[in-house]
Amino acid sequence: MNHEVFAALGEALKHGEEVALVTIVAANGSTPQRVGAKMLVYADGRVLGTIGGGCYENEALWKAREALTTRKAVTVKYELADDFAAESGLICGGQMEVFIEPIEASPAVYIFGAGHVGQYVGRVAHDAGFRVHVVDDREKFANRDRFPNAGEIVVDDIPTWLANTVLPTSSYAVVVTRGHRHDLDALRALAPRRLRYLGLIGSRAKVKRLYDVLAEDGAVTIEQLERVHAPIGLDIGAVTPQEIAVSIVAELIAVRRGKADTISHASLRWMPRMTAISGT
């Protein structure tokens, strides 16, 4: 069974899907499975393989799904006492320890806007281990010369492309288009989606204007807007497109590594001077 688990794990990573690998790492006494038994848990609750069945396996499944959310590995010990065994329908009375490891492929970052900031975000994000996708309606900007390491370059109207494309929930979306209208169109399509990260470039004043428009037309809820990182990036005093790209990717890394919640809310907000650059 383990070879099927490993094959499925490889396929999941190939398609950018997050999974958690549950492995029995220690067992004493009577246990339903031996050390090394594995179970693969998907974010939607699908399971492949087994660590023995029963209530403790179901509990391990929920621990695995929790690990996918926190992105932190955990070790869990189970005492298979008589009452627990009876509840599980198992004849056992030993102890078992399982290691639950969330595993993710190189995360995908979708850069909406192939201008100067987008170009440098693509470079830095690739070097930081992200799979880069670029979407812009201008072939002059969205091309292989400017994004040599991108896994995908799409030349299309952004809202049209988004209307026909499903982004994985593990995706990171960076909105750095060339103008307010394009930012608004992208945000209107992206904000209602469940994504790992969604960031919008611009000053506080610009962000407020866009939020007001979206709130007025009812396209996006307040709760959905609260999930947006806007203004985008960590406040490191960046001025140039290159520096801004570093600040944006730094925020992506903080979210990826589960550190974003340790940064104060204020430090996740840009200085007003950023409007002078926009996404161009």
8-37 pLDDT, tens per residue?
Answer: 999 888 877 889 999 999 988 777 778 999
pLDDT of 231:
93
- Considering the domain architecture, whether residues 203 and 96 belong to the same structural domain is answered as no
**Tens-place pLDDT, residues 214-230:** 988 888 998 999 999 99
- Considering the domain architecture, whether residues 115 and 216 belong to the same structural domain is answered as yes
How many Å apart are CA 129 and CA 139, to the nearest integer?
A: 25
- Considering the domain architecture, whether residues 69 and 163 belong to the same structural domain is answered as no
Decide the pairing of beta strands 172-175 and 108-112: parallel
Average pLDDT over residues 254-262: 77
**Tens-place pLDDT, residues 66-124:** 998 888 899 999 887 654 445 545 445 578 899 999 998 888 999 999 999 999 999 99
Q: At which of 45, 80, 103 does a domain end?
A: 103
- Considering the domain architecture, whether residues 177 and 272 belong to the same structural domain is answered as yes
pLDDT of 111:
98
Structure tokens at 249: 């990717």
DSSP 109-171: EEEE--SHHHHHHHHHHHHTTPEEEEEES-TTTSSTTT-TT-SEEEES-HHHHHHT-PPPTT-
| Mean of the per-residue pLDDT values of the chain | 86
- Considering the domain architecture, whether residues 262 and 189 belong to the same structural domain is answered as yes
Whether residue 271 is predicted with pLDDT greater than 70 in this model: the reply is: no
Q: At which of 103, 119, 137 does a domain end?
A: 103
How many Å apart are CA 237 and CA 208, to the nearest integer?
A: 21
143 — pLDDT class (breaks 50, 70, 90): very high
Q: What percent of the chain lies above the pLDDT cut of 90?
A: 64
- Considering the domain architecture, whether residues 88 and 127 belong to the same structural domain is answered as no
Residue 270: burial class (beta carbons within 10 Å; 0-12, 13-18, 19+): buried
- Range from 1-5, 28-32, 68-72, 260-264 carrying the lowest mean pLDDT: 260-264
Q: At which of 68, 103, 138 does a domain end?
A: 103
263 — pLDDT class (breaks 50, 70, 90): very low
pLDDT of 262:
45
- Considering the domain architecture, whether residues 58 and 197 belong to the same structural domain is answered as no
Structure tokens at 187: 């945000």
Average pLDDT over residues 60-66: 92
33: how many CB neighbours lie within 10 A of its CB? Answer: 20
Owning domain of residue 56 = 2-103
At 212, which CATH number?
A: 3.40.50.720
- Considering the domain architecture, whether residues 156 and 37 belong to the same structural domain is answered as no
For the sheet with 197-200, list strands across it: 152-155, 131-136, 108-112, 172-175, 197-200
Nearest to 134 by CA among 164, 165, 160, 173: 173
Higher pLDDT, 106 or 252: 252
- Considering the domain architecture, whether residues 162 and 244 belong to the same structural domain is answered as yes
pLDDT of 207:
92
Average pLDDT over residues 138-156: 97
pLDDT of 268:
36
- Considering the domain architecture, whether residues 127 and 67 belong to the same structural domain is answered as no
267 — pLDDT class (breaks 50, 70, 90): very low
Number of domains in the chain: 2
261 — pLDDT class (breaks 50, 70, 90): low
177 — pLDDT class (breaks 50, 70, 90): very high
- Considering the domain architecture, whether residues 195 and 65 belong to the same structural domain is answered as no
273 — pLDDT class (breaks 50, 70, 90): very low
- Considering the domain architecture, whether residues 119 and 234 belong to the same structural domain is answered as yes
Please state, in angstroms and as integers, the Cα–Cα distance from residue 123 to each residue in 17, 92, 234, following that order: 23, 55, 18
Average pLDDT over residues 169-184: 94
DSSP the chain: -HHHHHHHHHHHHHTT--EEEEEEEEEESS-SS-TT-EEEEETTS-EEE-SS-HHHHHHHHHHHHHHHHHT--EEEEEE--HHHHHHHT-----EEEEEEEEE-PSPEEEEE--SHHHHHHHHHHHHTTPEEEEEES-TTTSSTTT-TT-SEEEES-HHHHHHT-PPPTT-EEEE--SSHHHHHHHHHHHTTS--SEEEE-S-HHHHHHHHHHHHHHTSS-HHHHHTSB-S-S--S---SHHHHHHHHHHHHHHHHTT-GGGS-GGGGS--GGGGGT---
pLDDT of 44:
87
Phi/psi zone of residue 45: left (φ > 0), alpha (ψ -120 to 50 degrees), beta?
Answer: left
